[in-house]
Amino acid sequence: MIPFINELKSEALKERHWKDMIKILDLTMTWNNMSDITLRDIWEQADNLKKNEHSLRDIMINAQGEKALEEFLKQISEQWKVYQLELIDYQKKCKVIKSWDDLFTKAKENLSNILSMKLSPYFKVRKSNII
């Protein structure tokens, strides 16, 4: 069980994943506060972990998939934060975007990738993520 317990320290596991795992392990009465759970507490549940390993692994795999999607969205966000439009003078009246077709191509590509994320089994809409 040591390798499995070691996997529980994954950064992908968020509080909601831990709550799901605690429900599966039927420890909601024992482990109320996530920050108080120790390695010893987990180790004492080794038999329970082994018995529910498949269900717990499913949660861990979902957490990894969700983390990958979050990282991808962060990359797209960072790209657009630093993106600068190149403007040129147009007939000395105004400025227009130079290479606007590149801008639209990039936007279309990013939107396509974001829309395809909805097809991922790890995509879930959460009320807390809605702005």
- Tens of pLDDT along 65-85? 999 999 999 999 999 999 988
Strand duo 87-90 + 94-97: pairing:
antiparallel
Task: List pLDDT tens digits, range 19-48.
Answer: 899 899 888 767 777 777 788 888 888 899
User: What's the number of domains the chain is made of?
Assistant: 1
pLDDT level of residue 128 (50, 70, 90 thresholds): low
d(CA 120, CA 131): 22
Instruction: Return mean pLDDT, the chain.
Output: 87
Find where tokens 């396509």 sit. Answer: 112
* Structural domain range at position 92: 2-129
What pTM did the predictor assign? 0.75
